[in-house]
């Protein structure tokens, strides 16, 4: 699966676009690891060193980092998104109920 990456106005935040719907409606924001417990993908993304927040839109995921270098963080985030995307196709969702 190809996941497109876009810069945002905030240099500490990148937008990941998987080319498929992420949420059916609305948005979800995870400001810390504790909040991420309600979403398996956000929880996994917070497992990547340097992640400080995760946000879901209808067709994208944005990830904000601390002062870590994106060159080291991008591959891990893409891997997490691809793994989660594969699980969603098998009937799992991005959030826990």
Domains of the chain: 4-89 (3.30.1370.70)
The predicted pLDDT at position 34 comes to 94
Higher pLDDT, residue 87 or 68: 68
- 89 pLDDT band (50/70/90 cuts)? very low
pLDDT at 1: 62
pTM of the complete model: 0.74
Q: What are phi and psi of 12, to 5 degrees?
A: -90, 0
What's residue 3's pLDDT? 83
In terms of residues, how long is the chain? 97
Query: Measured on CA atoms in the order 9, 51, 31, 54, is the torsion positive or negative?
Result: positive
pLDDT, position 90: 43
Model confidence pLDDT, tens digit, residues 2-59:
789 899 999 999 999 989 999 999 999 999 999 999 999 999 999 888 899 999 999 9
């Amino acid at each position: 699966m190809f996941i497109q990456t876009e810069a945002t106005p905030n240099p500490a935040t990148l937008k990941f676009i998987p080319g498929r719907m992420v949420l059916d409606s609305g948005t979800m924001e995870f400001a810390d690891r504790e909040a991420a417990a309600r979403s398996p993908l956000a929880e996994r993304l917070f497992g990547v060193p340097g992640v400080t927040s995760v946000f879901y839109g209808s067709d994208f995921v944005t990830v904000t980092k601390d002062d870590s270098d994106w060159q080291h963080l991008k591959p891990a985030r893409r891997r997490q998104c691809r793994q989660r995307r594969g699980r969603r196709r098998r009937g799992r969702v991005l959030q826990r109920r």
